[in-house]
Amino acid sequence: MADQFAERWLALREPADARARDAALAAQLIELLPARPRIVDLGAGTGSLFRWLAPQIARPQAWTLVDNDAALVERSFDVIAGWAEWHGLRVSAPNKRVLLVHTPAGAWRVEGLIADLADAPEWLARREADAVTASALLDLVSDIWVEDLADVLQVPFYSTLDVSGAARFLPPIAGDAAVARGFRRDQRRDKGFEGAALGPEATRVAATIFRARGFAVRRAPSPWQLGRGEASLLAELVEGHATAAAPHLPRTAAAVQAWRASRLESLRRGRLRARVPHGDLLALPPEHAA
């Protein structure tokens, strides 16, 4: 069930992610990539960032999709194949670990890698790559993890959609502040990356860490703007906030559930909207920064 929920959540958020990412920052990365770039995507899930960025790179390229969830890595080939065929592109699978998407601009090679993301700074230095990417990952990791990553990276690092503030649900109702407080506490708990998660401080802290090591850092906002067209995503967002906040607000558990019920009723009436702040970051090592 957890795997099914993770895949459903990733599928629900993919259109909102695609609209929110800052296109200008992605274009800056693409300009720096070689003719046949090799990209390692950390926390890739089913390959959402690949589906958004590969068409913009628009030339032969090789991706390694890394996740610690084996079911998502395995599922990514089916999702990518279906997406490619829907866009009129031919796919082939030379073996169980590699998928090729054949395009007029050349082949896009996709490899899946099941690996512990907590250990990524240790093994990344041994992999050949022209860029390392991630989506919605930095807000889960600790400052120590980012420091270790910045110590080993010698190629551009591109991170998108890291939460950068509290979600704002509209119209405002009683309970918003309490739920936001509980959710913020949950964001900062240790997620298995050597310490407290960075949460909404992710891009700011990461920028400081990379700059201290000589990287040139560029940042851009990438907020979700959700309305009637994203009812299913809004429902999951409400459920997720209530579920995450409740353990941190034991004395007001009933109020959290009342907030949840009120928000879902507002959604049913077509009135619920939300703005979720995110940020994108591009960190360039000195040899790419000029």
Looking at domain 2-166+195-225+278-289, its CATH superfamily turns out to be Vaccinia Virus protein VP39 (3.40.50.150)
Judge contact between 46 and 83, C-beta under 8 A.
no
| Residue bearing tokens 């979600």 | 167
Say whether the peptide bond before residue 286 is cis (omega within 30 degrees of 0). no
For 162, the enclosing helix (H) or strand (E) is strand 157-163
Alpha-carbon distance of 147 to 114, in angstroms, equals: 23
Parallel/antiparallel/unpaired status of strands 131-135 and 106-114 = unpaired
pLDDT of residue 95: 82
Task: List, for the chain, all residue ranges whose pLDDT scores fall below the cut of 50.
Answer: 1-3
Structure tokens at 23: 């296109």
Give the model's pLDDT for residue 192: 93
- How do residues 202-212 score in pLDDT, each as one tens digit? 999 999 999 99
Do the Cβ atoms of 244 and 232 come closer than 8 Å? Answer: no
pLDDT at 290: 58
Q: What is the pLDDT of residue 5?
A: 56
Per-residue pLDDT tens digits for 141-170: 999 999 999 999 999 999 999 999 999 999
Q: What is the pTM of this model?
A: 0.94
Residue partners of 231: CB distance under 8 A and separation at least 6: 267
pLDDT digit string, tens, across residues 260-282: 999 999 999 999 999 999 999 99
* DSSP-based three-state secondary structure for 284: strand
Token representation of residue 8: 């459903």
Neighbours of 79 (CB within 10 A): 20
Q: What's at 161, amino acid-wise? A: L
Given a contact cutoff of 8 angstroms between Cβ atoms, the answer to whether 57 and 33 are in contact is: yes
What ranges do the domains of the chain cover? Answer: 2-166+195-225+278-289
Q: Which of 76, 22, 23, 25 is nearest to 51 (CA)?
A: 76
How many CB atoms within 10 Å of residue 276? 22
pLDDT of residue 289: 63
Q: What is the pLDDT of residue 2?
A: 45
